[in-house]
Amino acid sequence: MTTTRLLPASAVEEAAALLRAGALVAFPTETVYGLGANATDGRAVAAVFAAKGRPRFNPLICHYPEAEAAFADAAPDERARALAERFWPGPLTLVLPRRPGCRVDLLAGAGLDSLGVRVPGHPLGRALLRAAGVPVAAPSANPSGAVSPTTAEHVLEGLGGRIAAVLDGGPCPVGVESTVLDLTGERPVLLRPGGVPTEAIEAALPGPLLRAGPSEGTAAPRGPGMLASHYAPALPLRLGAISADADEALLGFGRRLPAGAAVAWNLSDSGDLAEAASRLFAGLRWLDAEGARLGLRGIAAMPVPDTGLGAAINDRLARAAAPRTPL
Ligand code: TXA
Ligand code: MG
């Protein structure tokens, strides 16, 4: 056990020094908090897998303050350059071929010859990356399989005592993880829907995307991290609920919620998908805690439209509801 320090935004240089020295520092991005490690330091990277209890076959995304720094480690083609130009800084991860001289430790990429890279859009997160001066490997800062953190407090709840520090940047504005796009093959493959809507990516590419993942048709192989059960609260989740029972907690969406649930969290009463995404993980955590306190049977989740950020929300809900298969 170590004591995890909660660092204010003004301590960005100190957080960067900790990272450079090989310590684990959680930091804000526009999507969720990341658990950062110096990606060139094999021991620091190994410590990330240990702190999260993450299977080592699941690669980490490397974070950079600028596209050119990312492209020094991973080789972009024309498509990657166009997408980076359009969406970075922002919630898009590009999986590209590793360059021969790539500085990133092999374990961070789970031994693959590809590398997931992104330039996050959060000003404090980017300031940290700039100050660190090294690529920063960062999965979401939660124990593997659990709900991702969108506040510094969430990080402390899950990883307090196991990491050196959390840099506090307040709540994450987007609230669901980055869109992960594999550009190593001829056809781009969507590995995970996320903060950049799939429609926006398709509009920026000449041809259609292939989709990978547990809930979609298997036109392409799944990414190594596409475990069916993920983002899971402790209580069972019931999808597509149009009514709720007295022994259920309700995850609502829209103006009209069914009556009868013991407690309710509305993702967005105006039906706004960006607001719903930003409130998703905090809502799952709150309903889970209330459900445990009140001895409820489960969480009933109302349907959310599958367009725009709704696709990322539905992906996370489907995984939160999936059977919990032990690794
Ligand atoms: O928004 C985000 O992406 C957040 C913040 C912290 O940046 N990070 C995040 O990391 O969600 P993580 O580790 O929880 O999810 C990364 C996903 C995993 O499903 C992983 O398998 C996939 O990206 N991934 C990373 N590198 C990959 C690679 N080289 N090939 C295929 N998939 C990769
Ligand atoms: Mg994660």
The per-residue pLDDT for 97 is 98
Closest-approaching ligand to the CA atom of 142 = 2
Q: Which of 61, 73, 106, 140 to mutate to test the pocket of ligand 1 (most atoms within 8 A of CB)?
A: 61
Q: How far from 239 is each of 18, 161, 307, CA to CA, in Å? A: 42, 34, 17
User: Please, which residues have CB within 8 angstroms of residue 286's CB and are 6 or more apart in sequence?
Assistant: 265
DSSP designation for 177: P
CA of residue 173 to ligand 2 center, whole Å: 17
Q: How far does residue 136's CA lie from ligand 1's centre (Å)?
A: 13
Calculate how far, in angstroms, residue 169's C-alpha sits from the geometric centre of ligand 1: 21
Q: Is the CB of 125 under 6 A from ligand 1?
A: no
Q: How confident is the model at residue 278 (pLDDT cuts 50, 70, 90)?
A: very high
Environment class of residue 111 by beta-carbon count within 10 Å: exposed (0-12), middle (13-18) or buried (19+)? exposed
Q: Is the pLDDT confidence value at 327 over 90?
A: no
Residue 220's pLDDT is what? 43
Q: What is the C-alpha to C-alpha distance for residues 172 and 79, in angstroms, rounded to an integer?
A: 28
- Does 93 sit in the ligand 1 pocket, CB within 6 Å? yes
pLDDT at res. 225 = 54
For the residues 129-138, what does the mean pLDDT come to?
Answer: 98
The residues, ordered by sequence, that sit 6+ positions from 38 with a Cβ below 8 Å of its Cβ are 19, 20, 21, 22, 44, 45, 132, 134, 135, 136, 137
State if residue 109 touches ligand 1 by the CB under 6 angstroms criterion.
yes
Average pLDDT, the chain: 94
Q: How far apart are CA 105 and CA 64, in angstroms?
A: 15
- CA of 267 relative to ligand 1 center, distance in Å: 24
Decide: pTM greater than 0.85.
yes
In the chain, domain spans: 5-211, 237-321
Q: List the residue whose alpha carbon is closest to atom 19 of ligand 1.
A: 225
Spacing, Cα 242 to ligand 1 middle (Å) = 33
What pLDDT, on the 0 to 100 scale, is given for residue 325? Answer: 63
* Cβ neighbours around 153 below 10 Å, total: 16
Distances 136 to 24, 57, 129, 171, 296 between C-alpha atoms, Å: 10, 18, 7, 21, 40
Mean pLDDT of 288-303: 97
Average pLDDT over residues 246-273: 97
- Report the C-alpha dihedral over residues 318, 84, 11, 135, rounded to 10 degrees: 90
CB 12 within 8 A of CB 130: no
Q: Which CATH number fits domain 237-321: 3.40.50.970, 3.40.50.300, 3.40.50.11030, 1.10.3720.10?
A: 3.40.50.11030
CATH of domain 5-211: 3.90.870.10
| Long-range contacts formed by 122-127: CB under 8 A, 24+ apart | 122/28, 122/29, 122/30, 122/169, 122/172, 122/173, 124/9, 124/12, 124/27, 124/28, 124/167, 124/169, 125/27, 125/28, 125/29, 125/30, 125/34, 125/63, 125/169, 126/65, 126/89, 127/12
Atom from ligand 1 closest to the CA of residue 31: 1
Chain segment 200-239, per-residue pLDDT in tens: 999 999 988 998 855 433 334 455 556 567 788 899 999 9
Nearest CA to ligand 1 atom 13: 139
| pLDDT over threshold 80, residue 326 | no
Does residue 114's CB lie within 6 angstroms of at least one atom of ligand 1?
yes
Ligand 1 atom with the shortest distance to the CA of 191: 32
- Asked whether 178 lines ligand 1 (CB < 6 A), one says yes
Query: pLDDT at residue 31 above 80?
Result: yes
* Ligand 2 centroid distance, CA of 52 (Å): 10
Q: Whose CA is nearest to atom 32 of ligand 1?
A: 223
Q: What are phi and psi of 165, to 5 degrees?
A: -160, 160
What does the pLDDT look like over 167-198, one tens digit per residue? 999 999 999 999 999 999 999 999 999 999 99
Q: What percentage of residues in the chain have a pLDDT greater than 70?
A: 94
45-96 residue pLDDT tens: 999 999 999 999 999 999 999 999 999 999 999 999 999 999 999 999 999 9
pLDDT at 214: 52
For residues 38, 75, 189, 80, the Cα torsion angle rounded to the nearest 10 degrees is: 110
